[in-house]
Amino acid sequence: MLYDFILENGRIVDGTGGKPYLGDICVSNGKIAAVFPADSLDANSALSKASQVYDVHGAYITPGFIDIHRHADVNLFTKDFGKPELHQGLTTIINGNCGLSVVPCPPQYRNDIYTMLQPVIGEVPADKEFSDFEEYMGLVKKQPLPLNVGMDIGNGTVRAAVRGYRPGKLTREEVKEAQDYIRSSLKAGALAVTLGIVYSPENCYDKDDFVEVLKPMTEFDVPLVTHIRGEGDLFLESLEEVIYIAKKLSVHLHVSHFKCIGKRNWGHVTRQARALLDKVRKEGLPVTCDVYPYTAGSTQLIQILPPEYIEGGAPGIVSRLKNPVLRKELREILSKPSDTFENLVSSIGWENIRMSTLTLPEHAPYSGKSITEIAKMQGKDPFDCACDMLIAEECRISMVDFIVSEEDIRENLQYPYSAIISDSVYPTGGVWHPRLFAAFPKVLKEYVHDEPVLTIENAIRKMTGFPADIYHLKGKGYLKEGFDADINVFSLENISPKATYENPNQFSSGFDYIFINGQLVLKDDCLTDALAGQVILASDKDSKAYNRLTPCSLAYSTTSGFQIEDCTSPM
């Protein structure tokens, strides 16, 4: 066989969790054709059969990184899509998370849906028109893609497509319509169903409502990917809720951005939550989670409000904030802890909530500043500042909120069943969260190179093979013969996550080569002109992936396959 190219003299980290070893990777027709240990007779023979040889001089060779939690649903239609992703080693991403997919969006509810989603996914291009998952994916398939892209169906948007943002129980007819949306989306290739129970309108459901609406999931082999109802004072009971739903449906449960909010909950509650997941797993329910490496999150600013103030979408919110009686009641609600909703203001304070993206030109000076700082600039108290800004912007504000402890991040990264994600949102304009540019390099630099929180093999497993197995991604996540040639080459000491909270819009650096489906897309931190990405659909699933859903310390043997080692201790 004549190989298209060979990566020679690399330290191979293959995605299984096995230790690095010296070797060569041979690529042909977009696939990994062979993997040879260094100095083997096969490796020496292969060199004479390659059109091109890259001597990587001992750099790491890894599978391309997979981010299973991004919100680039419509950003992928923009000219700059792929630049922040490729510069941090991402070769595959999955959108439609947190129940907030851009589809379905029937004409009668489209404006309401787009307004509510704008702080998360950005502005939908005027020339892109779609109503359901199949129509949306039809446009994505026509789009030249710089990296591989898959899509989930968001259950929150499904409800909004059926009933808008009105509260209350769905009628029998509305339940059937919601089920039809879910079923048709899964048939069209959605990789998972995602929940955003904290968000409107999904926060109107109780646990049995979810079980009923999600029944079509039982016809498909996809995970239930959940942004739970509460991640602070309500953390444990919110986990119990999604565990109940997953058990009733007999589906794999995946908990998004696993974390605990608020200083009073850090440490002890997070450990209780991990113990709960372990208990449920031992009882037979497949349960995994993912983690981002930042102490701050990012979402809609309206999430500081209790559920009853978010009913009716943006018009309903603005109307309530203008009502003096309701506004006075809201001030009282936000001033103290709550056992009915995730009160961020009480948990972390106004000083830890920054307005990141604003749409009005006169508000540009406030972008990136905390509500406490903006209030001082406006001569108001923080509560009135936040309410008035939401009114003026018609709720189209995203925030960066500092919510998590560094110690919890480290422990969650070490948790054997956690994948690494970014949870990147793509609001239009303003100051973005640095994780959009740097989440994966940040893990390599800070938690592998600078401090041994993770070994290189476990970090790579959590970025490649493990997320591929969670999502059944066929041909992704491993340096293995027959798999897609999505490959990163880098030296750990060169990896640099440049993005900061103050100056986030900076590309990461340190990658020597990145290949997607066998095509060179980046060399020495410079992008090529290649648009090598492909659309990933559920029909392309790897049926054996769930068998590999084990902790992140696996070794792969070419003779006996995946060998499960003792994974009960931290990595």
Domain of residue 211, CATH code: 3.20.20.140
**Category of 436 on φ-ψ map: left (φ > 0), alpha (ψ -120 to 50) or beta:** alpha
Q: Taking the chain, what is the end-to-end CA distance rounded to the nearest angstrom? A: 40
Same domain, 455 and 341: no
Read off the tokens for 556. Answer: 């792969």
Average pLDDT over residues 23-35: 97
pLDDT, tens only, 98-107: 999 999 999 9
Final residue of a domain: which of 353, 370, 402?
402
pLDDT, tens only, 301-342: 999 999 999 999 999 999 999 999 999 999 999 999 998 899
Same domain, 347 and 434: no
Asked, for residue 59, whether it belongs to a domain, the answer is: no
Torsion angle of the four alpha carbons 279, 255, 87, 28, in this order, in degrees rounded to the nearest 10: 70
pLDDT for position 557: 29
Can you name the residues that pair with 398 across neighbouring β-strands?
Answer: 300, 357
Res 262 pLDDT > 60: yes
Please give the mean pLDDT across all residues of the chain. Answer: 93
Res 541 pLDDT > 70: no
Using a 10 angstrom Cβ sphere, with 0-12 exposed, 13-18 middle and 19 or more buried, the burial of residue 2 is exposed
Question: pLDDT band at residue 2, thresholds of 50, 70 and 90?
Answer: confident
Q: What is the DSSP string of 263-277?
A: GGGTTHHHHHHHHHH
pLDDT for position 100: 98
Can you name the residues that pair with 399 across neighbouring β-strands?
Answer: 299, 355
Question: pLDDT band at residue 87, thresholds of 50, 70 and 90?
Answer: very high
Evaluate whether 126 touches 109 at the Cβ level (below 8 Å): no
Evaluate whether 50 touches 3 at the Cβ level (below 8 Å): yes
pLDDT for position 551: 66
pLDDT, tens only, 151-201: 999 999 999 999 999 999 999 999 999 999 999 999 999 999 999 999 999
Average pLDDT over residues 208-227: 98
Q: What is the DSSP string of 391-419?
A: HHTTT--EEEEE---HHHHHHHHHSTTEE
Structural domain span for residue 103: 65-295+404-527
Calculate what percentage of the chain has a pLDDT beyond 70: 93
Final residue of a domain: which of 373, 402, 431?
402
Q: What is the DSSP string of 216-270?
A: GGGGS---EEEE-S-SSTTHHHHHHHHHHHHHHHT--EEETT----SGGGTTHHH
Question: pLDDT band at residue 39, thresholds of 50, 70 and 90?
Answer: confident
pLDDT for position 224: 99
pLDDT for position 567: 35
Evaluate whether 326 touches 312 at the Cβ level (below 8 Å): no
Q: Which residues touch 373 (CB under 8 Å, ≥6 apart)?
A: none
Same domain, 225 and 241: yes
pTM of the entire predicted model: 0.93
Question: pLDDT band at residue 81, thresholds of 50, 70 and 90?
Answer: very high
Same domain, 437 and 507: yes
Res 32 pLDDT > 80: yes
Same domain, 365 and 476: no
pLDDT for position 548: 65
Helix (H) or strand (E) segment spanning residue 150: strand 148-151
Asked, for residue 554, whether it belongs to a domain, the answer is: no
Same domain, 291 and 304: no
Res 566 pLDDT > 70: no
Same domain, 184 and 85: yes
Average pLDDT over residues 379-406: 97
| DSSP conformation class of 16 | S
Same domain, 409 and 484: yes
pLDDT, tens only, 139-162: 999 999 999 999 999 999 999 999
Average pLDDT over residues 360-370: 95
Question: pLDDT band at residue 51, thresholds of 50, 70 and 90?
Answer: confident
pLDDT, tens only, 431-467: 899 999 999 999 999 999 999 999 999 999 999 999 9
Question: pLDDT band at residue 42, thresholds of 50, 70 and 90?
Answer: low
Question: pLDDT band at residue 49, thresholds of 50, 70 and 90?
Answer: confident
Helix (H) or strand (E) segment spanning residue 378: helix 371-378
Average pLDDT over residues 229-243: 97
Same domain, 181 and 237: yes
Same domain, 328 and 439: no
Asked, for residue 564, whether it belongs to a domain, the answer is: no
Least confident residue range of 78-92, 454-468, 515-529, 538-552: 538-552
Same domain, 283 and 392: no
Res 377 pLDDT > 80: yes
Residue with tokens 């792969």: 556
Same domain, 228 and 94: yes
How many structural domains is the chain composed of? 2
Q: Which residues touch 107 (CB under 8 Å, ≥6 apart)?
A: 131
pLDDT, tens only, 273-312: 999 999 999 999 999 999 999 999 999 999 999 999 999 9
